[in-house]
Structure 1
Amino acid sequence: MDNNIHRISYFLQKYLDGDISTAELSLLHTLLEESDEDDIKAAFDLLWNNTPLSQDNTDPLFSDEEADAVLRDIITQVPITPRKTKGKVMTAYALAACAVGILLTFGWIHFNREVSLPEEAVSITSQKMEQDVNPAQEEAILTLEGGETLSLHDIKAGDSIRMGDVKLVNNNGLLSYEPAQVEDLGTQHFVQTPKGGQISMKLPDGTKVWLNADSRITFLSNLGVKDREVTVMGEVYFEVAKLDGKRFTVKSTSGEIEVLGTKFNVRAYPEDKLMQTALVEGSLAMKTSSDRVVLKPNEVGVASASQRISVSQHGHIADIIAWKNGLFLFENATLADVGRQLGRWYNIQVQLAEGLAVQRITGKITRDVKLSEVMKMLHYLGIESKLKDNKLIMIQKEHAYEKTIKM
């Protein structure tokens, strides 16, 4: 193999790591100028150890614009003179266009967790890991009003257990309430997921709920016999069962929601100081002490601390509930919000360097990967991270590509 291919690959790795000197960057420009498209592709193949691409439709780590920006960033610092190489006219534009496809290959490989990355490509991040952190597991604690507790994780598929006046059954992974006896008043049940936990279950009235990490729902054991009212903290997705025209009410510290039968997501973490409701189908009413609005499908309502409710149309409402389907999906999200979500999911503290909290990213990460995989992705997106004493510290890399980056 041409020695220049090895050299291009070496300096590209240093550039992506943000560890390239001015002299090395100048040499990389020269090598790119003197090489044709085939040699550049071969250099990237060498960089990624000839890892084959999949045929699925996994989204790339970089958008076309961002991939183009990386090469233009290299090219514009020392302009490349148009010249003939092996019978082809190689302009700076053509070189950048060629590299777009190559970097998309780079992005897919790095995004897809099932493909092993070359050890040298992730050595910096790996060296900073004192220990890895697993993603959230199916875990929640049920507490009765008398103080009795039960880990719902202990109810295995096919098993059932009686708690107070109800019986809990695990039907193929879905925990379901089956009232053992109907009481006039019922008893309060509190289901809490810890940081690093999640749960899905069917309430006594047949409504299905999914609790994200660090969330809580409170309801009566005879929910649906008289009233259908629950209280939430954190993030919960609802598929409300229709029941004889009885309204279903969701309350939080920021307001409440009334529905008959519908699918919607509620996010009301205390630190957010607001309640966000995204309607998937059906209809619902949001209320605060001073405002009331009716949402239609694909609308998002936000009740702020001022008790006012704002409504916006959302073209991709499924993005908001991606967490229920095993994805972190960020759309122009600040790293402050990303950090909070990672903190809840991995049960860690997150510290951002000054100025990093307002930086925005757009993209997605599967939620079933270990923290080290997320750190590897962040590394190649211009964010260095280090885990110490259960705290993830993020800082801006010196050679970050853009203010807005994609995962």
Structure 2
Amino acid sequence: MRTSRLRLRYLFDRYYSKTATPKERDELFAVINAGATDDELSLLIRQAWDDLKPGDAPVFSIDKTNLILSNILGAEEPGKQAKDHKNIFLWAKIAVAAISLVLLTFGAYNYLRPKHPVQQGQIVKVKRPHNDALPGGNKAVLTLANGKTIILDNAGNGTLAKDGSTLIKKTADGRVIYNTSALATVNTAPTTNTITTPRGGQYQVVLPDGTQVWLNSASSLSFPTRFTGKLRQVEITGEAYFEVTKNPLMPFNVKTNKANIRVLGTHFNVMAYDDEVTMKTTLLEGAVDITSGTFTARLKPGQQAQIKKSGQNAVIDNVDVDDETAWKDGIFQFREVGIDAILRQAARWYDVQVAYNGKIPDRKFTGRISRNVKASVLLDILRYTGVDLKIEGNEIIVL
């Protein structure tokens, strides 16, 4: 039975306001997949823009498995703050232009999906498209204590190696799990392993204590094959999300090139790329202690510690943690972010370089899009805000 326009509006409003139940969200996806007309979607978009309050930031969204319109692409007027509804509404014309992009991208997304399901972690070798870049995937290299390296995306599932009393296994869903035997003794000395993701890579590892770690592109994690003593010590570069197993008798410590992060059991994200001016530690659950030189802070959920190269360190309250952790769920998500910061993330994920022909555009962007699309799709969205850019070979060029 054809879904009524009233029902479609209800489902859209529920999803737009983030109050939709999983059942309602699935119904909306099904309606769009079944072919909601351009006119119906256009009407919803225009009504959504009419309903915006001053200061609201419209968002263009792509679900993990379905590309759908939830809020719409948004940006501030160049060089100005959106001070009233009139200024915000000036950008509504972007939404009208975005309708065709949404439909085009939705079709491209379904076209790009493999005809046969691919298990997470399975690598599908595809030629790089001309003047475009494919999204990254589960790629990483495991380096054992003896110097042996294992390319994880090429390795088969099952046992990869044995280190003393620790078995290292790769699962069917593309994770590496460290299992330490209950028979391990103090005489079994642990060794250090390192997992490194390249540009265009990501990976998940389960440490010997059950702690789960997600590694973003161009990152590394060094850790012992078995935790001993009074401290669980690991070291990272790049970006990682941690869900730490609680053990009050053995605190968990994350070392970066800028700070130490001490926890007992908690969920948090650390972004510590060398090419970023600020290292960010964002807490979702529990508590963490941050130390960087003379700067110390204890974070509560929803807070973020910022360690700046300039030395102007701070703790920020009421951070939208989803913005900081969306990457691990396969989403680019930005809120009032400059084009240079967006393109740094894109460069790492698509394994490309970025060049600016002239001054970096001075405007902020708010948006949400799947990391599973080609680079050209992300660039098309940025173009709709007036940024002139293109991709040539291995380089994104901002004109």
TM-score, normalised via structure 1 length: 0.68
Answer with 1 or 2: which has the greater Rg: 1
| Selected match of 2:284 from 280, 286, 299 | 280
- Cross-structure match for 1:176: 177
Q: What 5-or-longer segments of structure 1 have no aligned partner?
A: 1-48, 70-92, 118-128, 396-407
Structure 1 pair 225/171, CA: closer, same or farther in 2 (3 Å)?
farther
Matches within 5 A, 1:259-338: 259-305=263-309, 309-338=313-342
Which amino acid in structure 2 is aligned with residue 161 of structure 1?
A: L
The CA deviation string for residues 315-363 of structure 1, in whole angstroms up to 9 with x for no partner, is 4211111111111111111111112111100111011232225432221
Indicate if the aligned counterparts of 1:254 and 1:307 stay in contact, CA closer than 8 A.
no
Which amino acid in structure 1 is aligned with residue 344 of structure 2?
A: R
- Cross-structure match for 1:374: 378
- Cross-structure match for 2:107: 115
Which amino acid in structure 2 is aligned with residue 134 of structure 1?
A: L
The SS at the match of 2:275 is: helix
Is 1:61 the counterpart of 2:73 in the alignment? Answer: yes
- Cross-structure match for 1:142: 142
Q: What is the aligned residue count?
A: 306
Indicate if the aligned counterparts of 1:301 and 1:311 stay in contact, CA closer than 8 A.
yes
- In the alignment, the residues of structure 2 paired with residue 263 and residue 170 of structure 1 have an alpha-carbon distance, to the nearest angstrom, of 23
- Cross-structure match for 1:164: 163
**Deviation (angstroms), 1:98:** 11
- In the alignment, the residues of structure 2 paired with residue 105 and residue 382 of structure 1 have an alpha-carbon distance, to the nearest angstrom, of 14
- In the alignment, the residues of structure 1 paired with residue 163 and residue 320 of structure 2 have an alpha-carbon distance, to the nearest angstrom, of 42
Indicate if the aligned counterparts of 2:132 and 2:393 stay in contact, CA closer than 8 A.
no
- In the alignment, the residues of structure 2 paired with residue 269 and residue 386 of structure 1 have an alpha-carbon distance, to the nearest angstrom, of 25
- In the alignment, the residues of structure 1 paired with residue 277 and residue 196 of structure 2 have an alpha-carbon distance, to the nearest angstrom, of 19
Cα RMSD of the aligned pairs, angstroms, is: 3.0
**Deviation (angstroms), 1:170:** 3.1
Which amino acid in structure 2 is aligned with residue 59 of structure 1?
A: N
Indicate if the aligned counterparts of 2:131 and 2:393 stay in contact, CA closer than 8 A.
no
The CA deviation string for residues 87-141 of structure 1, in whole angstroms up to 9 with x for no partner, is xxxxxx9xx97994x7535424424631359xxxxxxxxxxx8333111110110
Matches within 5 A, 1:349-388: 349-356=353-360, 358-388=362-392
Indicate if the aligned counterparts of 1:293 and 1:309 stay in contact, CA closer than 8 A.
no
Indicate if the aligned counterparts of 2:235 and 2:256 stay in contact, CA closer than 8 A.
yes
Which stretch has the larger CA shift, 103-112 or 282-291?
A: 103-112
The CA deviation string for residues 195-231 of structure 1, in whole angstroms up to 9 with x for no partner, is 0000012111110000000001111111256530111
- In the alignment, the residues of structure 2 paired with residue 206 and residue 289 of structure 1 have an alpha-carbon distance, to the nearest angstrom, of 30
The SS at the match of 1:320 is: helix
- In the alignment, the residues of structure 2 paired with residue 371 and residue 97 of structure 1 have an alpha-carbon distance, to the nearest angstrom, of 28
Choose between structure 1 and 2: higher helix proportion: 1
Structure 1 pair 216/358, CA: closer, same or farther in 2 (3 Å)?
farther
Which amino acid in structure 2 is aligned with residue 239 of structure 1?
A: E
Matches within 5 A, 1:7-406: 50=38, 53=41, 58-62=70-74, 100=92, 104-111=95-102, 113-115=105-107, 130-157=130-157, 159-165=158-164, 166-173=166-173, 174-179=175-180, 181=184, 184-223=188-227, 226-305=230-309, 309-356=313-360, 358-395=362-399
Which amino acid in structure 1 is aligned with residue 370 of structure 2?
A: T
The CA deviation string for residues 160-183 of structure 1, in whole angstroms up to 9 with x for no partner, is 222433322234413211125555
Structure 1 pair 336/224, CA: closer, same or farther in 2 (3 Å)?
farther
